[in-house]
Amino acid sequence: MKLFKYPYLVQNEILNNTEFSDLLMFSFVSKRMKKLIESSSQMQRFGNVKTIRYDHRNGRTFVCIPFHHYHDHMLQIAELDDTQNDYFQLNVSEKMINFRIVYEDNKYCPVAYYQPNECESVLNSVHDYFHIFFGNSVEYYWFAHDYTKPIPQLQNLSACIDMPTEQWLDMQRFEHFISLCPILKFIDIDILNVTAHMSPDSKFFQAEHIKMLLFEPTLPANLLNFQGRQAFVDCMRCSSRELIEFVNKWKSGEAFDKLELMKIKSFRDLAQNEILEAIEAKYFDSAKEPPAHILPKVYRDIAFDEQPNTDPITSYTYVVRETDSRVASVLIHDKTFNFGVWDKTEDEFLRIME
Amino acid sequence: MSSTEQGTSSAAPAEPTTAPESAAAPEVPESFYYVHGKDKVVHKVSAGALQHSALIHGMISNLGYTEEQAKANPFPFENIDGDILQMVVDWCNQHKGKPTPPEDTNLPKQKEKLFDLVLAVNYLEIKELLTYCCKQVAMMVKGKSPEEIREIWMIPTDAEDEAAEKEAKKRAGKEAAGETAAAAGDAK
């Protein structure tokens, strides 16, 4: 069966019935095969690829493309397994890499293997190959699902942590892991108990977007060290004192200069009046409709999160930053403290409602 | 479901035998057409079944043949092997007037048969069957290494492609030189 004897339309139809993991392998068959992929309507499929994820868990890295409601697994990257002998070698961005094809979850998937000392170079080569294969407009994310292996420093790669509930977070190991990571784009973590307090200087607080579930009582106070843009925190308890301190630090311009949104949901009631009074909140005319604060999310998994924007904060109360007159809406409602920073001065903000 | 017989000429095919039709008889008498492949075996196929083929459907839609005329003028598909045409006719009959299922497991498993079937189906413009066939061709290389894919689909290596390209250029050069020489000879 000679593929190249088929008319172009048939070749294209065959390629339409393949997955990205197949196309990836096809691209290594020959230059002509690669050209066929590039000249076919597959490039439209490639155009639908907006992000590529590296998910690292249990010693393996799973490379997938998020699509609507699923992640299409395209490749795995793992340490060489001496018990296997069916490897084949491929030249990936000028580096010879051992591969095998595995069958898992009803799907064939190629696996690229590395020797313990060449992990970084294999990742680099694979990453470079993706840049050529998918083009430069794709966003790349590395998701660490544990803190065993540092996130590699790769070109155009956003580092993220997505860690499930862990009974005890080994803070020393976790802090060490974070210190070796690039600045994090996104952290989604559940923390039940910690072996030690988190350092206020931790790189953890530099993450652009944090989503946390906290059972550990000391951590909400640590949020005063947050330097990123958006934070969503569910916690056992959050004291009024911490929230007041947070707002006052923002108002004085002492901290949180990049902050766009902070949302803290407590399991206990929040002292709304006490907090609003202490932060000297200003009030709109209740006869007018206050503007809704909405922002594009810093990060979202396009496969499972269809909402590109944050939930609106519609509030009659706001505070003003002393240093630049920037406004933040404040809403304390249903055990939740919402703080949304506007890209507007107080005058500009008030004009919206006129 | 189709009827076949060895014909000697496309102009005068012998009477084909008709296989029993399905239990539900159509209310309006159905018209039939005749096709044959390289082996000249004539297949009697209903217009309903032939609707799957955009090529044949286009050919017959304006002909207005009587039964006798259709019998006397089977469509010749000399580029399609007899057994492949038989498969196509069987498929068209099986799926006559029915919605096509998402998968078809009755396609040939042998590479060469499938290859010929794809070419025939593409030529006859049978869209659904082409999709099934192409899916099957794609399935053949699932879980294979690039080297295995190359063997299954007979894809030349880069070196072979380069050699073939050089050879083609050389041949084209020689032909061009020959034409120039001939033209010069004519001028003299």
d(CA A26, CA B137): 14
pLDDT tens, position by position, B53-95: 999 888 887 777 777 888 888 999 999 999 999 999 999 998 8
Interchain contact, A2 vs B131, CB within 8 Å = no
Query: Which is more confident, B61 or A314?
Result: A314
Q: Extract the tokens encoding A147.
A: 């803190």
CB-CB neighbors (< 8 A) of B137 in chain A: 1, 14, 17
Say what the pTM is.
0.84
Per-domain residue ranges for chain B? 3-151, 157-187
Hey, what's the torsion of the CAs at B167, B169, B171, B174, to 10 degrees? -140
Interchain contact, A26 vs B112, CB within 8 Å = no
Query: Range with the lowest mean pLDDT among A78-92, A232-246, B155-169?
Result: A232-246
Choosing among B116, B140, B145, which should be mutated to test the A contact, i.e. which has the most A CBs within 10 A? B145
Q: In this structure, how many other beta carbons lie within 10 angstroms of the beta carbon of residue A272?
A: 15
Q: What is the mean pLDDT of residues A42-60?
A: 90
Task: Place B105 in a pLDDT band, splitting at 50, 70 and 90.
Answer: low
pLDDT tens, position by position, A97-143: 999 999 998 999 999 999 999 999 999 999 999 999 998 889 999 99
Task: Place B96 in a pLDDT band, splitting at 50, 70 and 90.
Answer: confident
What ipTM, to 2 d.p.? 0.83
- The CATH class that applies to domain B3-151 reads alpha beta
pLDDT tens, position by position, A177-203: 999 999 999 999 988 887 788 888 899
Interchain contact, A17 vs B147, CB within 8 Å = no
How confident is the model at residue B5, as a pLDDT? 41
CB-CB neighbors (< 8 A) of B147 in chain A: 88
Q: Spell B15-34 as b/e; 16+ CB within 10 A means b.
A: ebeeeeeeeeeeeeeeebbb
User: B108 φ, ψ to 5°?
Assistant: -60, 145
CA distance A157 to chain B (A): 28
A8 close contact with B: CB closer than 8 A: no
How confident is the model at residue B181, as a pLDDT? 79
CA distance B25 to chain A (A): 36
Provide the chain A residues 194-213 that lie in CB contact (below 8 A) with chain B. Answer: none
CB-CB neighbors (< 8 A) of B140 in chain A: 1
Residue B129 contacts residue B121 (beta carbons within 8 Å): yes
